Amino acid sequence: MEPWSQQQVTTAKGPVLLRTAHADEVYPLRMTVLIAGTDRASPEFDGDDDPHSIHVLGESAGTVVTIASWMPNRWNGEPALQLRGMATAPDWQGLGLGSALLHFCEQALAHPGGPRYLWCNARVNAVGFYLRQGWQPASDPFEIPGVGPHYRMLKELS
């Protein structure tokens, strides 16, 4: 697969096209799924506009149904990408779409000269998802004020 080529996946609700995106394309779903109910007022994250940040989405019939953003952020002093703002629309959850999106991203990022580590701050209720994808816990639980408890999760790319 060419890094970041588009990929279509099939779900029980129909086909979903996975592709890179502009930051503003991920904001509406980020706001609905991740920001609503927290102390944050904006779906914009520091680093969204960094030229090395990568935003990816899945869309079905023109509607964005899953998103993920990758931002340069070192891991123990080594080049790494931090996964931020991964979300799937509630009516699309449980269909394997999050797994497909994460796999699509990991394949595109695993190349010579690419990052060795991927990491994220996972909400406690998402830790099982990351474990099933081969990620490992890399911290004790910690609180992100206004959002809730999290664990740092890590995946080393080969």
Full DSSP string of 78-110: B-EEEEEEEEE-GGGTTSSHHHHHHHHHHHHH-
Q: How confident is the model at residue 2 (pLDDT cuts 50, 70, 90)?
A: low
Burial of residue 82 (number of CB atoms within 10 Å: 0-12, 13-18, 19+)? buried
Alpha carbon distance 3, 46 (integer Å): 25
Residue 56's contacts (CB-CB under 8 Å, 6 or more residues apart) are: 18, 19, 20, 21, 67, 68, 69, 70, 101, 104, 105
Task: Over range 75-81, report the average pLDDT.
Answer: 93
Task: Over range 9-17, report the average pLDDT.
Answer: 96
Q: What is the DSSP letter of 44?
A: -
Is 137's pLDDT higher than 60?
Answer: yes
Sketch out the chain's domains with CATH numbers: 7-156 (3.40.630.30)
| pTM listed for this prediction | 0.93
Q: How confident is the model at residue 1 (pLDDT cuts 50, 70, 90)?
A: very low
Q: How confident is the model at residue 16 (pLDDT cuts 50, 70, 90)?
A: very high
